[in-house]
Amino acid sequence: MRSTVIIILTLLNLIVHGQTNRKSIDYSPDKNFGLLITFSQLPDVNTDWKYWLITNNRDTILLTATITHDEFPPATFWSKSSQQIIFEDQTHENKDNKIKIYNLKDKKTEFETVGLIWGLGKNNFDQDRGLLFYFKRIENKKRTFDLMTLNIETKEIKRLSSVTTSGDPITGTPEIISVDKIKKQLTLTFETADSRQDKIKVLY
């Protein structure tokens, strides 16, 4: 309870000092960490996003920041042990987004790989098994994406499947629309080359 109160006080302090317009906050499973997401509207229908990690001793760390137009904001996930936070880095420093694992105890990024998550990300993580699902665009094949899985403990990466889409940067990006954690099955949707919406099921 004390950790939650400290995080709330830190959140209020950020608001008072004008560091946020609109905000949401999410807590780690053990309630010792909070993720404050702030966002504000910019001209030309752009949105400025900032993701602040708040610790129980009032430290605030900027995990990632980005500006979106038609894209979804970065997805984030807590590990079941509350030792890590996993997030998509959309800093646009290069053409590829990155998936990063941040160690909460050591306060540093412990792993990163190229990848993207389309959608809000609610179906992209099996917390009990510590498995993250994401897509990787095939180099020199703009319409083809590999579906990948990352074990956040062992850092093992596996390719589960591949899909060829319309290539449209918005409608042609595949999305995981459901996850069955009992059957260990994902359902993907994407726009095909002939502009149809297709769905496939993939076991993990």
| Chain mean pLDDT for the chain | 89
C-alpha pair distances (Å), 152 with each of 5, 50, 82, 191:
29, 23, 12, 29
Asked if 23 contacts 11 with a C-beta cutoff of 8 angstroms, the reply is yes
pLDDT value for 24 = 86
What's the rounded mean pLDDT across residues 124-138?
97
What's the rounded mean pLDDT across residues 98-122?
96
Per the listing, tokens 């042609």 go with 172
Distance between CA atoms of residues 196 and 203, nearest Å: 23
Long-range contacts of 50-54 (CB under 8 A, 24+ apart): 50/20, 51/76, 51/87, 52/14, 53/85, 53/102, 53/104, 54/7, 54/10, 54/11
Distance between CA atoms of residues 74 and 116, nearest Å: 9
pLDDT value for 23 = 82
The helix/strand/coil state of 155 is coil
Confidence of residue 53 (pLDDT cuts 50, 70, 90): very high
Is residue 6 predicted with pLDDT exceeding 50?
Answer: no
Query: What confidence tens digit (pLDDT) does each residue in 21-32 have?
Result: 678 899 999 999
Confidence of residue 94 (pLDDT cuts 50, 70, 90): low
pLDDT value for 3 = 46
* Helix (H) / strand (E) containing 6: helix 2-16
Query: Using CA of residue 5, residue 6, residue 9, residue 10, what is the dihedral sign?
Result: negative
